Amino acid sequence: MIFTKDHKTRDMFDPLARFGPHRRELLEGSWAKLFREEILHELPVHQVARHYSESKGAPTKDLYAMLGIMLLQQMRDLTDEETVEQVAFNQMWHYALGISDGVEREAYVCAKTLWSMRHLLAEHGLSTAVFEAVTEKLAEVFSVSPAWQRQDSVHVLSNMRHLGRIGLFVRTIRKFLVNLKRHHRELFAELPEEFSERYMKGQGEGVFALVKPSESRRTLESLGADLFFLVERFRAIDGVVSMSSYGLLVRLLKEQCTVEDDGGGKRVSVKSNKEVGSDSLQSPTDPEAGYSGHKGKGYSVQVMETYSAEEERLSLITHVSVAAAQHSDAHALIPAIEDTTARGLGPEQVLVDSLYGSDDNCEKAKELGVEVISPVMGRPQGEAMTLADFGLDDGGRVVSCPEGQVPRKSKERGARHSAVFSTEVCGVCRQREQCPVKRGKRGYHLHYDDKAIRLAHRRRFEQSEAFRDAYRFRAGIEGSISQMDRRTGIKRLRVRGLKAVTLCAKLKAAGVNVLRAVAFRVRIMAEDGPQSMAGHALDVLGRLAQAIILALSPYVPRIPHWIPLHCRSQAPVTL
Protein backbone atom coordinates (compact mmCIF):
# COMPACT_ATOMS: atom_id res chain seq x y z
CA MET A 1 0.00 0.00 0.00
CA ILE A 2 1.37 3.39 -1.02
CA PHE A 3 2.12 5.93 1.69
CA THR A 4 3.40 9.45 1.04
CA LYS A 5 3.46 12.62 3.11
CA ASP A 6 2.71 16.13 1.91
CA HIS A 7 6.08 17.86 1.87
CA LYS A 8 4.99 20.88 -0.19
CA THR A 9 2.77 22.47 2.44
CA ARG A 10 4.89 24.28 5.00
CA ASP A 11 4.64 23.37 8.67
CA MET A 12 2.31 25.41 10.85
CA PHE A 13 4.86 25.31 13.66
CA ASP A 14 8.59 25.81 13.27
CA PRO A 15 10.31 22.38 13.11
CA LEU A 16 13.49 23.99 14.47
CA ALA A 17 11.86 25.50 17.54
CA ARG A 18 13.62 23.01 19.83
CA PHE A 19 17.06 24.09 18.61
CA GLY A 20 19.06 26.89 20.16
CA PRO A 21 20.43 29.76 18.03
CA HIS A 22 23.82 28.11 17.42
CA ARG A 23 22.50 24.71 16.36
CA ARG A 24 19.80 26.41 14.32
CA GLU A 25 22.39 28.45 12.47
CA LEU A 26 24.41 25.32 11.69
CA LEU A 27 21.36 23.48 10.41
CA GLU A 28 20.13 26.35 8.24
CA GLY A 29 23.58 26.66 6.65
CA SER A 30 23.81 22.94 5.90
CA TRP A 31 22.61 20.80 3.02
CA ALA A 32 19.58 19.74 5.09
CA LYS A 33 17.69 23.03 4.71
CA LEU A 34 18.15 23.16 0.96
CA PHE A 35 17.22 19.49 0.64
CA ARG A 36 14.02 19.91 2.68
CA GLU A 37 12.85 23.12 1.01
CA GLU A 38 13.79 22.54 -2.64
CA ILE A 39 14.58 18.87 -3.30
CA LEU A 40 12.44 16.55 -1.18
CA HIS A 41 9.05 17.35 -2.69
CA GLU A 42 10.49 17.28 -6.24
CA LEU A 43 11.65 13.65 -6.08
CA PRO A 44 9.85 11.47 -8.70
CA VAL A 45 7.66 9.52 -6.30
CA HIS A 46 4.95 9.07 -8.95
CA GLN A 47 7.30 6.85 -10.97
CA VAL A 48 8.17 4.71 -7.94
CA ALA A 49 4.55 4.43 -6.80
CA ARG A 50 3.62 2.55 -10.00
CA HIS A 51 5.38 -0.51 -8.63
CA TYR A 52 3.28 -0.68 -5.43
CA SER A 53 -0.38 -1.46 -4.86
CA GLU A 54 -2.68 1.37 -3.82
CA SER A 55 -4.84 -0.87 -1.64
CA LYS A 56 -3.05 -4.15 -0.88
CA GLY A 57 -0.23 -5.00 1.48
CA ALA A 58 1.33 -3.17 4.41
CA PRO A 59 1.86 0.59 4.01
CA THR A 60 5.20 1.56 2.55
CA LYS A 61 7.56 3.95 4.19
CA ASP A 62 7.06 7.54 3.05
CA LEU A 63 8.24 7.23 -0.56
CA TYR A 64 9.60 10.79 -0.58
CA ALA A 65 11.73 9.99 2.44
CA MET A 66 12.87 6.66 0.95
CA LEU A 67 14.06 8.29 -2.27
CA GLY A 68 15.79 10.93 -0.17
CA ILE A 69 17.49 8.24 1.90
CA MET A 70 18.73 6.52 -1.28
CA LEU A 71 20.22 9.80 -2.48
CA LEU A 72 21.79 10.71 0.86
CA GLN A 73 23.30 7.25 1.24
CA GLN A 74 25.19 7.62 -2.03
CA MET A 75 26.03 11.26 -1.34
CA ARG A 76 27.68 10.27 1.94
CA ASP A 77 29.03 6.92 0.65
CA LEU A 78 27.45 4.96 3.51
CA THR A 79 26.87 1.26 3.99
CA ASP A 80 23.34 0.02 4.69
CA GLU A 81 24.13 -0.35 8.40
CA GLU A 82 25.46 3.20 8.60
CA THR A 83 22.42 4.49 6.74
CA VAL A 84 20.05 2.78 9.21
CA GLU A 85 21.86 4.58 12.06
CA GLN A 86 21.65 7.96 10.33
CA VAL A 87 17.93 7.60 9.73
CA ALA A 88 17.35 6.52 13.33
CA PHE A 89 19.44 9.08 15.21
CA ASN A 90 20.65 11.93 12.99
CA GLN A 91 18.46 15.00 13.53
CA MET A 92 19.85 16.65 10.41
CA TRP A 93 18.56 13.73 8.35
CA HIS A 94 15.19 13.95 10.15
CA TYR A 95 14.87 17.62 9.23
CA ALA A 96 15.96 17.08 5.61
CA LEU A 97 13.63 14.09 5.07
CA GLY A 98 10.61 15.56 6.86
CA ILE A 99 10.62 12.85 9.55
CA SER A 100 8.23 13.80 12.36
CA ASP A 101 9.53 14.00 15.91
CA GLY A 102 8.50 11.11 18.11
CA VAL A 103 7.13 8.96 15.26
CA GLU A 104 9.04 5.70 15.60
CA ARG A 105 7.80 4.27 12.33
CA GLU A 106 9.18 7.19 10.30
CA ALA A 107 12.54 7.26 12.10
CA TYR A 108 13.42 3.63 11.46
CA VAL A 109 14.20 1.77 8.27
CA CYS A 110 15.76 -1.68 8.11
CA ALA A 111 18.57 -2.81 5.81
CA LYS A 112 16.18 -5.09 3.89
CA THR A 113 13.98 -2.10 3.01
CA LEU A 114 17.03 -0.24 1.72
CA TRP A 115 18.03 -3.24 -0.40
CA SER A 116 14.52 -3.60 -1.84
CA MET A 117 14.27 0.08 -2.76
CA ARG A 118 17.75 0.06 -4.31
CA HIS A 119 16.86 -3.04 -6.34
CA LEU A 120 13.63 -1.38 -7.52
CA LEU A 121 15.43 1.79 -8.61
CA ALA A 122 18.19 -0.14 -10.38
CA GLU A 123 15.96 -2.61 -12.22
CA HIS A 124 13.65 0.08 -13.60
CA GLY A 125 16.25 2.78 -14.20
CA LEU A 126 14.56 5.21 -11.82
CA SER A 127 17.87 6.68 -10.63
CA THR A 128 17.88 8.66 -13.88
CA ALA A 129 14.59 10.31 -12.92
CA VAL A 130 15.97 11.18 -9.47
CA PHE A 131 19.14 12.71 -10.93
CA GLU A 132 17.21 14.72 -13.51
CA ALA A 133 14.66 15.99 -10.98
CA VAL A 134 17.36 17.19 -8.57
CA THR A 135 19.52 18.74 -11.28
CA GLU A 136 16.71 20.56 -13.07
CA LYS A 137 15.31 21.93 -9.80
CA LEU A 138 18.70 23.28 -8.71
CA ALA A 139 19.30 24.75 -12.16
CA GLU A 140 15.97 26.58 -11.86
CA VAL A 141 16.50 27.79 -8.29
CA PHE A 142 20.03 29.10 -8.90
CA SER A 143 19.50 30.25 -12.51
CA VAL A 144 22.27 28.03 -13.87
CA SER A 145 23.23 28.73 -17.47
CA PRO A 146 23.95 25.53 -19.47
CA ALA A 147 25.56 27.38 -22.40
CA TRP A 148 29.14 26.41 -21.48
CA GLN A 149 29.83 22.80 -20.50
CA ARG A 150 32.72 20.32 -20.35
CA GLN A 151 32.93 16.53 -20.37
CA ASP A 152 35.29 13.76 -19.31
CA SER A 153 35.13 10.18 -18.02
CA VAL A 154 36.14 8.41 -14.81
CA HIS A 155 37.06 4.74 -14.47
CA VAL A 156 34.96 2.94 -11.84
CA LEU A 157 35.62 -0.38 -10.12
CA SER A 158 32.66 -2.48 -9.07
CA ASN A 159 32.77 -4.90 -6.14
CA MET A 160 34.29 -7.73 -8.15
CA ARG A 161 37.42 -9.76 -7.66
CA HIS A 162 40.25 -9.09 -10.08
CA LEU A 163 41.40 -12.35 -11.60
CA GLY A 164 44.15 -13.51 -13.91
CA ARG A 165 43.29 -15.92 -16.73
CA ILE A 166 43.83 -19.02 -14.58
CA GLY A 167 41.71 -17.58 -11.79
CA LEU A 168 39.01 -16.61 -14.31
CA PHE A 169 38.74 -20.18 -15.62
CA VAL A 170 38.76 -21.70 -12.12
CA ARG A 171 36.18 -19.31 -10.66
CA THR A 172 33.81 -19.68 -13.62
CA ILE A 173 33.95 -23.48 -13.55
CA ARG A 174 33.55 -23.55 -9.78
CA LYS A 175 30.54 -21.23 -9.95
CA PHE A 176 28.86 -23.58 -12.43
CA LEU A 177 29.63 -26.70 -10.39
CA VAL A 178 28.27 -25.15 -7.18
CA ASN A 179 25.00 -24.25 -8.94
CA LEU A 180 24.82 -27.65 -10.62
CA LYS A 181 25.20 -29.43 -7.28
CA ARG A 182 22.55 -27.21 -5.73
CA HIS A 183 19.89 -27.58 -8.45
CA HIS A 184 20.78 -30.88 -10.18
CA ARG A 185 22.50 -33.06 -7.61
CA GLU A 186 22.06 -36.27 -9.63
CA LEU A 187 23.82 -34.73 -12.67
CA PHE A 188 26.63 -33.48 -10.48
CA ALA A 189 27.11 -36.96 -9.03
CA GLU A 190 27.66 -38.34 -12.53
CA LEU A 191 30.70 -36.14 -13.15
CA PRO A 192 34.22 -37.57 -12.73
CA GLU A 193 35.44 -37.29 -9.16
CA GLU A 194 38.43 -35.21 -10.27
CA PHE A 195 36.16 -32.20 -10.86
CA SER A 196 35.13 -32.18 -7.22
CA GLU A 197 38.76 -32.60 -6.15
CA ARG A 198 39.98 -29.77 -8.35
CA TYR A 199 37.29 -27.12 -8.06
CA MET A 200 35.07 -27.76 -5.06
CA LYS A 201 37.44 -28.17 -2.14
CA GLY A 202 38.37 -25.05 -0.20
CA GLN A 203 38.04 -21.96 -2.35
CA GLY A 204 38.45 -23.91 -5.55
CA GLU A 205 41.85 -22.44 -6.34
CA GLY A 206 44.08 -24.45 -4.05
CA VAL A 207 45.24 -26.80 -6.83
CA PHE A 208 46.15 -23.83 -9.06
CA ALA A 209 47.47 -21.37 -6.48
CA LEU A 210 51.15 -22.24 -6.83
CA VAL A 211 51.40 -22.61 -10.60
CA LYS A 212 54.82 -21.56 -11.86
CA PRO A 213 54.89 -18.98 -14.68
CA SER A 214 56.62 -21.53 -16.92
CA GLU A 215 53.70 -23.93 -16.40
CA SER A 216 50.86 -21.44 -16.75
CA ARG A 217 50.27 -22.23 -20.42
CA ARG A 218 50.00 -25.96 -19.72
CA THR A 219 47.61 -25.23 -16.86
CA LEU A 220 45.43 -23.04 -19.08
CA GLU A 221 45.23 -25.80 -21.67
CA SER A 222 44.09 -28.24 -18.98
CA LEU A 223 41.47 -25.77 -17.76
CA GLY A 224 40.32 -25.22 -21.35
CA ALA A 225 39.84 -28.97 -21.76
CA ASP A 226 37.73 -29.13 -18.57
CA LEU A 227 35.69 -26.13 -19.72
CA PHE A 228 35.01 -27.72 -23.11
CA PHE A 229 34.06 -31.04 -21.46
CA LEU A 230 31.44 -29.37 -19.25
CA VAL A 231 29.95 -27.34 -22.08
CA GLU A 232 29.60 -30.40 -24.30
CA ARG A 233 28.43 -32.66 -21.45
CA PHE A 234 25.36 -30.56 -20.63
CA ARG A 235 24.63 -28.94 -24.01
CA ALA A 236 21.47 -30.99 -24.57
CA ILE A 237 20.00 -30.72 -21.06
CA ASP A 238 17.51 -27.83 -20.99
CA GLY A 239 17.46 -27.46 -17.22
CA VAL A 240 21.22 -26.89 -17.17
CA VAL A 241 21.45 -24.76 -20.31
CA SER A 242 18.98 -22.26 -18.80
CA MET A 243 21.32 -21.66 -15.82
CA SER A 244 23.17 -18.33 -15.96
CA SER A 245 26.38 -20.01 -14.76
CA TYR A 246 26.25 -22.37 -17.77
CA GLY A 247 25.90 -19.33 -20.01
CA LEU A 248 29.13 -18.00 -18.50
CA LEU A 249 30.86 -21.29 -19.36
CA VAL A 250 29.77 -20.98 -23.00
CA ARG A 251 30.84 -17.33 -23.13
CA LEU A 252 34.23 -18.09 -21.60
CA LEU A 253 34.82 -20.92 -24.05
CA LYS A 254 33.93 -18.74 -27.02
CA GLU A 255 36.06 -15.76 -25.94
CA GLN A 256 39.11 -17.53 -24.52
CA CYS A 257 39.41 -20.76 -26.53
CA THR A 258 39.46 -22.06 -30.08
CA VAL A 259 37.70 -25.35 -30.89
CA GLU A 260 38.88 -27.20 -34.00
CA ASP A 261 37.79 -30.45 -35.59
CA ASP A 262 40.85 -32.32 -36.93
CA GLY A 263 38.89 -35.31 -38.21
CA GLY A 264 39.57 -37.47 -35.20
CA GLY A 265 37.44 -35.34 -32.90
CA LYS A 266 37.22 -31.82 -31.56
CA ARG A 267 40.32 -30.28 -30.02
CA VAL A 268 40.35 -27.18 -27.82
CA SER A 269 43.22 -24.70 -27.48
CA VAL A 270 43.49 -21.53 -25.43
CA LYS A 271 43.92 -18.24 -27.30
CA SER A 272 46.92 -16.00 -26.68
CA ASN A 273 46.44 -12.84 -24.67
CA LYS A 274 46.43 -10.66 -27.79
CA GLU A 275 43.63 -12.67 -29.36
CA VAL A 276 41.22 -12.10 -26.46
CA GLY A 277 38.92 -9.10 -26.97
CA SER A 278 38.51 -6.26 -24.47
CA ASP A 279 34.80 -7.06 -24.16
CA SER A 280 35.50 -10.60 -22.91
CA LEU A 281 34.39 -11.91 -19.53
CA GLN A 282 36.49 -10.32 -16.76
CA SER A 283 34.97 -11.94 -13.70
CA PRO A 284 32.09 -14.41 -13.18
CA THR A 285 30.88 -12.20 -10.31
CA ASP A 286 30.34 -9.23 -12.66
CA PRO A 287 29.88 -10.41 -16.25
CA GLU A 288 28.93 -6.91 -17.49
CA ALA A 289 32.26 -5.30 -16.55
CA GLY A 290 34.68 -4.60 -19.40
CA TYR A 291 38.38 -4.08 -19.90
CA SER A 292 40.29 -0.98 -20.96
CA GLY A 293 43.91 -1.38 -22.00
CA HIS A 294 44.57 2.05 -20.51
CA LYS A 295 42.67 1.82 -17.21
CA GLY A 296 41.96 -1.88 -16.61
CA LYS A 297 38.79 -3.73 -15.63
CA GLY A 298 35.58 -2.03 -14.61
CA TYR A 299 33.21 0.61 -15.98
CA SER A 300 33.50 4.02 -17.61
CA VAL A 301 31.32 6.83 -16.24
CA GLN A 302 30.79 9.88 -18.45
CA VAL A 303 30.33 13.20 -16.65
CA MET A 304 29.24 16.50 -18.21
CA GLU A 305 28.94 19.69 -16.16
CA THR A 306 28.34 23.40 -16.60
CA TYR A 307 31.08 25.94 -15.96
CA SER A 308 31.54 29.68 -16.04
CA ALA A 309 34.40 32.16 -16.18
CA GLU A 310 32.78 33.90 -13.21
CA GLU A 311 32.87 32.54 -9.66
CA GLU A 312 29.36 33.92 -9.03
CA ARG A 313 27.86 31.08 -11.08
CA LEU A 314 26.94 27.64 -9.75
CA SER A 315 28.37 24.65 -11.62
CA LEU A 316 26.12 21.58 -11.89
CA ILE A 317 26.60 18.08 -13.30
CA THR A 318 24.05 17.83 -16.11
CA HIS A 319 24.73 14.38 -17.58
CA VAL A 320 25.92 11.01 -16.25
CA SER A 321 26.07 7.75 -18.21
CA VAL A 322 27.73 4.40 -17.54
CA ALA A 323 29.20 1.82 -19.93
CA ALA A 324 31.62 -1.09 -19.76
CA ALA A 325 35.25 -0.01 -19.68
CA GLN A 326 36.03 -1.00 -23.26
CA HIS A 327 33.64 1.62 -24.69
CA SER A 328 35.58 4.53 -26.15
CA ASP A 329 35.02 8.14 -25.06
CA ALA A 330 34.72 9.03 -28.75
CA HIS A 331 31.16 7.61 -28.79
CA ALA A 332 29.98 9.42 -25.64
CA LEU A 333 29.88 13.10 -26.69
CA ILE A 334 26.85 13.19 -29.01
CA PRO A 335 24.58 11.13 -26.68
CA ALA A 336 25.47 13.52 -23.84
CA ILE A 337 24.59 16.57 -25.96
CA GLU A 338 21.31 14.99 -27.09
CA ASP A 339 20.38 14.01 -23.52
CA THR A 340 20.99 17.46 -22.03
CA THR A 341 19.28 19.20 -24.95
CA ALA A 342 16.14 17.08 -24.53
CA ARG A 343 15.93 18.19 -20.89
CA GLY A 344 16.42 21.89 -21.59
CA LEU A 345 20.02 21.91 -20.36
CA GLY A 346 21.74 21.65 -23.73
CA PRO A 347 25.10 23.41 -24.20
CA GLU A 348 26.18 25.88 -26.84
CA GLN A 349 29.86 25.12 -26.33
CA VAL A 350 31.56 21.98 -24.97
CA LEU A 351 35.18 21.57 -23.87
CA VAL A 352 36.55 18.03 -24.30
CA ASP A 353 39.89 16.32 -24.83
CA SER A 354 41.11 15.12 -28.22
CA LEU A 355 39.48 11.67 -28.01
CA TYR A 356 36.00 13.23 -27.92
CA GLY A 357 36.85 15.87 -30.51
CA SER A 358 36.96 13.76 -33.67
CA ASP A 359 35.94 15.44 -36.91
CA ASP A 360 32.75 13.34 -37.05
CA ASN A 361 31.76 14.40 -33.54
CA CYS A 362 32.46 18.06 -34.29
CA GLU A 363 30.31 17.94 -37.43
CA LYS A 364 27.43 16.14 -35.69
CA ALA A 365 27.60 18.58 -32.77
CA LYS A 366 27.53 21.50 -35.21
CA GLU A 367 24.31 20.13 -36.67
CA LEU A 368 22.89 20.21 -33.13
CA GLY A 369 23.99 23.83 -32.70
CA VAL A 370 26.92 23.03 -30.40
CA GLU A 371 30.53 24.13 -30.81
CA VAL A 372 33.11 21.56 -29.72
CA ILE A 373 36.47 22.91 -28.56
CA SER A 374 39.24 20.32 -28.28
CA PRO A 375 42.77 19.64 -29.49
CA VAL A 376 43.07 17.80 -32.79
CA MET A 377 43.99 14.17 -32.37
CA GLY A 378 46.91 12.63 -34.31
CA ARG A 379 49.73 15.12 -34.15
CA PRO A 380 52.37 14.75 -36.90
CA GLN A 381 55.59 13.06 -35.83
CA GLY A 382 58.81 15.00 -35.67
CA GLU A 383 58.97 18.02 -37.98
CA ALA A 384 56.46 16.71 -40.52
CA MET A 385 54.19 19.33 -42.08
CA THR A 386 50.42 19.18 -42.38
CA LEU A 387 47.86 21.07 -44.42
CA ALA A 388 47.66 23.56 -41.53
CA ASP A 389 51.16 24.80 -42.52
CA PHE A 390 49.91 25.83 -45.97
CA GLY A 391 48.13 29.06 -46.74
CA LEU A 392 44.36 28.53 -47.19
CA ASP A 393 41.67 30.95 -48.32
CA ASP A 394 38.16 31.04 -46.84
CA GLY A 395 36.99 28.35 -49.25
CA GLY A 396 39.75 25.91 -48.27
CA ARG A 397 41.82 26.36 -51.42
CA VAL A 398 45.61 26.25 -50.99
CA VAL A 399 47.10 29.62 -51.94
CA SER A 400 50.70 29.11 -50.79
CA CYS A 401 53.09 26.52 -49.38
CA PRO A 402 55.06 26.92 -46.11
CA GLU A 403 57.89 28.48 -48.15
CA GLY A 404 55.55 31.02 -49.72
CA GLN A 405 55.37 29.42 -53.19
CA VAL A 406 52.06 29.75 -55.08
CA PRO A 407 50.62 26.61 -56.76
CA ARG A 408 50.52 26.57 -60.54
CA LYS A 409 47.08 25.00 -60.61
CA SER A 410 44.27 24.01 -58.25
CA LYS A 411 41.43 21.54 -58.73
CA GLU A 412 38.17 20.76 -56.93
CA ARG A 413 36.05 17.69 -57.51
CA GLY A 414 33.28 17.40 -54.96
CA ALA A 415 34.83 17.01 -51.51
CA ARG A 416 38.30 16.33 -52.94
CA HIS A 417 40.88 19.02 -53.74
CA SER A 418 44.38 19.18 -55.17
CA ALA A 419 47.10 21.75 -55.78
CA VAL A 420 50.08 21.43 -58.17
CA PHE A 421 53.41 23.10 -57.46
CA SER A 422 56.30 23.67 -59.84
CA THR A 423 58.88 20.87 -60.19
CA GLU A 424 61.72 23.39 -60.39
CA VAL A 425 60.79 24.96 -57.06
CA CYS A 426 59.82 21.87 -55.03
CA GLY A 427 62.72 19.79 -56.35
CA VAL A 428 65.29 22.01 -54.62
CA CYS A 429 63.23 22.98 -51.55
CA ARG A 430 65.07 22.62 -48.27
CA GLN A 431 61.92 21.25 -46.55
CA ARG A 432 61.17 18.65 -49.19
CA GLU A 433 61.51 15.70 -46.77
CA GLN A 434 58.92 17.11 -44.36
CA CYS A 435 56.48 18.36 -47.00
CA PRO A 436 53.38 16.21 -47.74
CA VAL A 437 53.42 16.92 -51.51
CA LYS A 438 53.98 13.96 -53.85
CA ARG A 439 55.95 14.08 -57.10
CA GLY A 440 53.96 13.54 -60.28
CA LYS A 441 54.45 13.80 -64.04
CA ARG A 442 53.67 17.52 -64.25
CA GLY A 443 54.80 18.75 -60.87
CA TYR A 444 54.41 18.11 -57.17
CA HIS A 445 50.83 17.39 -56.12
CA LEU A 446 49.09 18.02 -52.82
CA HIS A 447 45.82 16.07 -52.45
CA TYR A 448 43.38 16.78 -49.62
CA ASP A 449 39.65 16.75 -48.84
CA ASP A 450 37.08 18.74 -46.86
CA LYS A 451 37.91 16.87 -43.67
CA ALA A 452 41.60 17.80 -44.01
CA ILE A 453 40.57 21.44 -44.48
CA ARG A 454 38.51 21.38 -41.29
CA LEU A 455 41.36 19.77 -39.34
CA ALA A 456 43.78 22.36 -40.73
CA HIS A 457 41.58 25.22 -39.52
CA ARG A 458 41.26 23.54 -36.13
CA ARG A 459 45.04 23.09 -35.83
CA ARG A 460 45.54 26.76 -36.58
CA PHE A 461 42.94 27.75 -34.03
CA GLU A 462 44.63 25.44 -31.52
CA GLN A 463 47.78 27.59 -31.72
CA SER A 464 45.89 30.83 -31.07
CA GLU A 465 45.47 32.76 -27.84
CA ALA A 466 41.69 32.49 -28.18
CA PHE A 467 41.88 28.69 -28.01
CA ARG A 468 44.14 28.74 -24.95
CA ASP A 469 41.87 31.25 -23.22
CA ALA A 470 38.78 29.08 -23.85
CA TYR A 471 40.32 25.64 -23.32
CA ARG A 472 41.95 26.44 -19.96
CA PHE A 473 38.60 25.80 -18.26
CA ARG A 474 38.55 22.16 -19.36
CA ALA A 475 40.91 21.21 -16.52
CA GLY A 476 38.11 22.01 -14.08
CA ILE A 477 36.37 18.73 -14.93
CA GLU A 478 39.33 16.87 -13.41
CA GLY A 479 38.70 18.67 -10.13
CA SER A 480 35.01 17.78 -10.32
CA ILE A 481 35.78 14.10 -10.78
CA SER A 482 38.20 14.30 -7.85
CA GLN A 483 35.44 15.90 -5.76
CA MET A 484 33.02 13.09 -6.70
CA ASP A 485 35.59 10.54 -5.58
CA ARG A 486 36.51 12.29 -2.32
CA ARG A 487 32.95 13.10 -1.28
CA THR A 488 31.04 10.11 -2.64
CA GLY A 489 33.65 7.38 -3.32
CA ILE A 490 32.57 6.89 -6.92
CA LYS A 491 35.76 5.14 -8.06
CA ARG A 492 35.19 2.10 -5.81
CA LEU A 493 31.62 0.91 -5.45
CA ARG A 494 29.99 -1.72 -3.23
CA VAL A 495 27.77 -3.08 -6.00
CA ARG A 496 28.16 -5.18 -9.14
CA GLY A 497 26.45 -5.06 -12.52
CA LEU A 498 25.72 -2.27 -15.00
CA LYS A 499 22.32 -1.37 -13.54
CA ALA A 500 23.59 -1.11 -9.97
CA VAL A 501 26.68 0.87 -11.01
CA THR A 502 24.46 3.25 -13.00
CA LEU A 503 22.24 3.78 -9.96
CA CYS A 504 25.21 4.64 -7.75
CA ALA A 505 26.79 6.95 -10.33
CA LYS A 506 23.63 8.97 -10.95
CA LEU A 507 22.67 9.31 -7.28
CA LYS A 508 26.21 10.28 -6.34
CA ALA A 509 26.20 12.94 -9.06
CA ALA A 510 22.88 14.26 -7.76
CA GLY A 511 24.40 14.36 -4.25
CA VAL A 512 27.39 16.33 -5.52
CA ASN A 513 25.01 18.84 -7.10
CA VAL A 514 23.26 19.29 -3.74
CA LEU A 515 26.57 19.84 -1.93
CA ARG A 516 27.70 22.33 -4.56
CA ALA A 517 24.44 24.26 -4.34
CA VAL A 518 24.72 24.50 -0.55
CA ALA A 519 28.33 25.70 -0.70
CA PHE A 520 27.36 28.25 -3.37
CA ARG A 521 24.42 29.56 -1.34
CA VAL A 522 26.53 29.87 1.83
CA ARG A 523 29.22 31.78 -0.09
CA ILE A 524 26.69 34.17 -1.63
CA MET A 525 25.04 34.80 1.76
CA ALA A 526 28.43 35.52 3.30
CA GLU A 527 29.23 37.98 0.52
CA ASP A 528 25.84 39.70 0.79
CA GLY A 529 26.32 40.31 4.52
CA PRO A 530 23.90 42.90 6.00
CA GLN A 531 21.57 42.75 2.99
CA SER A 532 21.06 39.05 3.56
CA MET A 533 20.38 39.63 7.27
CA ALA A 534 17.86 42.38 6.43
CA GLY A 535 16.08 40.04 4.06
CA HIS A 536 15.96 37.36 6.76
CA ALA A 537 14.47 39.84 9.21
CA LEU A 538 11.73 40.85 6.75
CA ASP A 539 10.99 37.19 6.16
CA VAL A 540 10.60 36.61 9.92
CA LEU A 541 8.26 39.58 10.24
CA GLY A 542 6.22 38.34 7.32
CA ARG A 543 5.89 34.88 8.85
CA LEU A 544 4.92 36.48 12.20
CA ALA A 545 2.14 38.36 10.46
CA GLN A 546 1.06 35.13 8.81
CA ALA A 547 0.84 33.41 12.20
CA ILE A 548 -1.35 36.18 13.56
CA ILE A 549 -3.63 35.95 10.54
CA LEU A 550 -3.94 32.18 10.91
CA ALA A 551 -4.77 32.57 14.58
CA LEU A 552 -7.53 35.12 13.80
CA SER A 553 -8.81 33.31 10.69
CA PRO A 554 -11.85 31.77 12.48
CA TYR A 555 -13.02 35.28 13.35
CA VAL A 556 -12.12 37.09 10.10
CA PRO A 557 -14.09 36.27 6.94
CA ARG A 558 -11.16 36.81 4.60
CA ILE A 559 -7.61 38.17 4.57
CA PRO A 560 -7.74 41.98 4.38
CA HIS A 561 -6.51 43.47 1.13
CA TRP A 562 -4.02 45.64 3.00
CA ILE A 563 -1.93 42.65 4.11
CA PRO A 564 1.25 42.62 1.94
CA LEU A 565 1.51 39.69 -0.42
CA HIS A 566 4.81 38.48 1.02
CA CYS A 567 3.11 38.15 4.40
CA ARG A 568 0.53 35.68 3.04
CA SER A 569 2.96 32.75 2.61
CA GLN A 570 2.52 29.49 4.49
CA ALA A 571 6.08 29.41 5.83
CA PRO A 572 6.53 28.47 9.52
CA VAL A 573 7.14 31.14 12.10
CA THR A 574 9.86 31.41 14.71
CA LEU A 575 8.75 33.34 17.76
Q: Does one domain contain both 117 and 226?
A: no
C-alpha distances out from residue 499 to 34, 289, 322, Å: 29, 11, 9
Residues 5 and 119 in one domain: yes
Residues 110 and 173 in one domain: no
The answer to whether residue 257 sits within a structural domain is: yes
Clarify whether residues 17 and 108 are in a common domain.
yes
Asked whether residue 21 falls in the same domain as residue 102, the answer is yes
pLDDT of residue 413: 81
Shared-domain flag, residues 175 and 73: no
Kindly state whether residues 20 and 118 are assigned to the same domain: yes
Backbone angles phi, psi at 492, to 5 degrees: -135, 110
- With H, G, I as helix, E, B as strand and everything else as coil, classify residue 333: helix
Query: How far lies 408's CA from each of 323, 399, 428, 449, in Å?
Result: 52, 10, 17, 19
Residue 298, in any domain of the structure: no
What pLDDT score was predicted for residue 454? 85
User: What does the DSSP 8-state code read for residue 197?
Assistant: I
H-helix or E-strand spanning residue 259: strand 257-261
Long-range contacts of 210-217 (CB under 8 A, 24+ apart): 211/166, 216/166, 217/270
Instruction: Please state, as a whole number, how many other Cβ atoms lie within 10 Å of the Cβ of residue 150.
Output: 25
- 102 and 169 both lie in a single domain: no
CA angle 232, 235, 239 (to 5 degrees): 140
Instruction: Give the number of other Cβ atoms within 10 Å of residue 548's Cβ.
Output: 12
Query: Which of 216, 240, 275 marks a domain boundary?
Result: 275
Give a yes or no: residue 333 inside a domain. no
- pTM check: above 0.75: yes
For the chain, which ranges sit under pLDDT 70?
Answer: 202-211, 379-383, 528-575
pLDDT number for residue 20: 86
CA distance 244 to 311: 52
How many independent structural domains does the chain possess? 4
- Judge whether 540 lies within some domain: yes
- 18 and 96 assigned to the same domain: yes
Are 119 and 176 within one domain? no
User: For position 533, what pLDDT does the model report?
Assistant: 45
Cα-Cα-Cα-Cα torsion 403, 409, 413, 418, nearest 10 degrees, comes to -30
Q: How confident is the model at residue 551, as a pLDDT?
A: 63
Q: What was the pLDDT predicted at 549? A: 63
Looking at the domain assignment, is residue 431 inside a domain?
A: yes
Residues 80 and 29 in one domain: yes
Backbone phi, psi, residue 416, to 5°: -105, 140
Which of 242, 275, 308 lies at the terminal end of a domain, its last residue? Answer: 275
Q: 237 lies in which domain range?
A: 165-275
Sheet of 438-440: strands edge to edge?
Answer: 409-413, 416-421, 443-449, 438-440
Closest CA to 508 of 489, 495, 480, 521: 489
| pLDDT number for residue 548 | 65
Residues 214 and 267 occupy one common structural domain: yes
Final residue before a domain boundary, out of 63, 96, 124: 124
- CA 549 → CA 8, 127, 266, 423, 541, distances in Å? 20, 42, 90, 96, 12
Quick check: is 178 in a domain? yes
* Torsions phi, psi for 257 (to 5 deg): -130, 160
| Residue 495 lies inside a defined structural domain of this protein | no
Q: Evaluate whether residue 289 is within a structural domain.
A: no
Quote the pLDDT of residue 546.
Answer: 62
Q: Looking at the chain, how many residues does it have?
A: 575
- The CA-based angle 367-371-374, given to 5 degrees, is 125
